[in-house]
């Protein structure tokens, strides 16, 4: 059976006895075409089986109206919120998203970036993988002046915008809160120092200790990917310490590791927060369902996703001021719950 002929705007024009120009403008919701006529055109297009030739349109405009997004992991509550906001904002502004995950691997990130480049995305939003040590794979975008916006896990490039929270201040405040509860041996569940978010959180933790005249102790800093298993391993590390050398508090760089560290400690008979107070980071749902509820740092994934997407779209649309590269720093809030509330008046 031969393939059916592709329906064109000329077929719609003949069907409605309109000009092809009118049909073309109506399909694009052009304001010079009345709402009633646009409705008739849309109904006829659906009836006849018309499909917009986006490929031909992109060749004419040199735009694909597609934005690439590379995230470390899709199975992250935080990233799910970021992506939902990005998709909503992009759709509202007439853009589609091409989303990939690096699975926390630099090599996978390189492959994804190459795919995005070959798909001719108009711009790229990227949050770096755990082990990325270079962004040389983004050079083709820079050479073609395709805008890049880093979000959450960023890289300092002079021609790119970064959107993140003030991780240093958030970590400083979280650590200071534990110190204000009377804690003096605060263990930090840290991520790789290669990523800005974890390096800044470590720096905030260290400076809060310094300002409280507490000596930094390398044995109280555990580096990991902050997975559930890493939280359990951290609890085992604490339990293997001599009782008089154990920490009296834990500040974790995410809620997953912090919550599972807390649950493993409780299973071993450690009282939370009486023996060890705990604060996490991200305000993920797990922080609200564990008992005691986990103190955490809250910052809106939706707000971050929306700001990052709008920053890129404003650049693409040539809006005034959008070409000025900068770092956009968002605010966060420490949420104190029962896992760290030793002093009940706080």
What domains are defined for the chain?
A: 9-52 (1.10.260.40), 65-164+301-330 (3.40.50.2300), 167-299 (3.40.50.2300)
Those residues whose C-beta lies under 8 Å from the C-beta of residue 227, and which sit 6 or more positions away, are 256, 257
Q: Are strands 296-298 and 333-335 parallel, antiparallel or unpaired?
A: antiparallel
CA distance 152 to 131: 15
CA distance 86 to 309: 6
pLDDT per residue of the chain (346 residues) written in tens, 0 to 9: 445 577 888 899 999 999 988 988 888 878 889 999 999 998 898 888 887 665 455 544 467 899 999 999 998 888 999 999 999 999 999 999 999 999 999 999 999 999 999 999 999 999 999 999 999 999 999 999 999 999 999 999 988 999 999 999 999 999 999 999 999 999 999 999 999 999 999 999 999 999 999 999 999 999 999 999 999 999 999 999 999 999 999 999 999 999 999 999 999 999 999 999 999 999 999 999 999 999 999 998 999 999 999 999 999 988 655 545 588 999 999 999 999 998 765 4
Residue with tokens 């934005």: 67
Beta-carbon count within 10 A of 328 CB? 15
What residues are paired with 149 via a beta bridge? 125, 161
Contact 291, 87 (CB under 8 A): no
Coil, strand or helix at 91: helix
């Amino acid at each position: 059976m031969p393939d059916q002929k592709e329906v064109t705007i000329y077929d719609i024009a003949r069907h409605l006895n309109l000009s092809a120009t009118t049909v073309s403008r109506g399909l694009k919701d052009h304001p010079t075409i009345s709402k009633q006529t646009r409705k008739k055109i849309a109904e006829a297009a659906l009836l006849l089986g018309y499909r917009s030739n986006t490929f031909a349109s992109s060749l004419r405009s040199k735009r694909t109206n597609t934005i690439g997004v590379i995230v470390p992991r899709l199975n992250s509550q935080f990233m799910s919120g970021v992506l939902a906001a990005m998709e909503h904002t992009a759709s509202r502004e007439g853009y589609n998203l091409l989303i990939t995950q690096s699975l926390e691997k630099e090599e996978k990130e390189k492959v994804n970036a190459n795919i995005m480049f070959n798909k001719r995305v108009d711009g790229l939003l990227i949050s770096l993988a755990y082990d990325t040590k270079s962004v040389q794979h983004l050079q083709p975008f820079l050479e073609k002046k395709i805008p890049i916006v880093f979000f959450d896990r960023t890289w300092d490039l002079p021609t790119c915008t970064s959107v993140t929270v003030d991780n240093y201040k958030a970590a400083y405040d979280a650590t200071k809160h534990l110190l204000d509860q009377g804690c003096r041996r605060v263990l930090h569940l840290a991520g790789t120092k290669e990523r800005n978010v974890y390096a800044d959180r470590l720096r905030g933790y260290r400076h809060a200790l310094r300002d409280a005249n507490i000596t930094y102790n390398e044995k109280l800093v555990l580096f990991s990917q902050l997975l559930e298993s890493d939280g359990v391993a951290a609890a085992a590390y604490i339990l293997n310490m001599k009782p008089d050398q154990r920490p009296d508090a834990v500040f974790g760089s995410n809620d997953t590791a912090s919550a599972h560290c807390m649950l493993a400690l409780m299973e071993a008979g450690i009282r939370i927060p009486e023996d060890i107070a705990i604060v996490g980071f991200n305000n993920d749902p797990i922080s609200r369902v564990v008992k005691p509820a986990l103190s955490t740092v809250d910052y809106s994934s939706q707000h971050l996703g929306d700001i990052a997407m709008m920053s890129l779209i404003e650049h693409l649309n040539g809006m005034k001021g959008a070409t000025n590269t900068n770092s956009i720093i968002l605010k966060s809030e420490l949420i104190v719950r029962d896992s760290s509330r030793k002093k009940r008046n706080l």
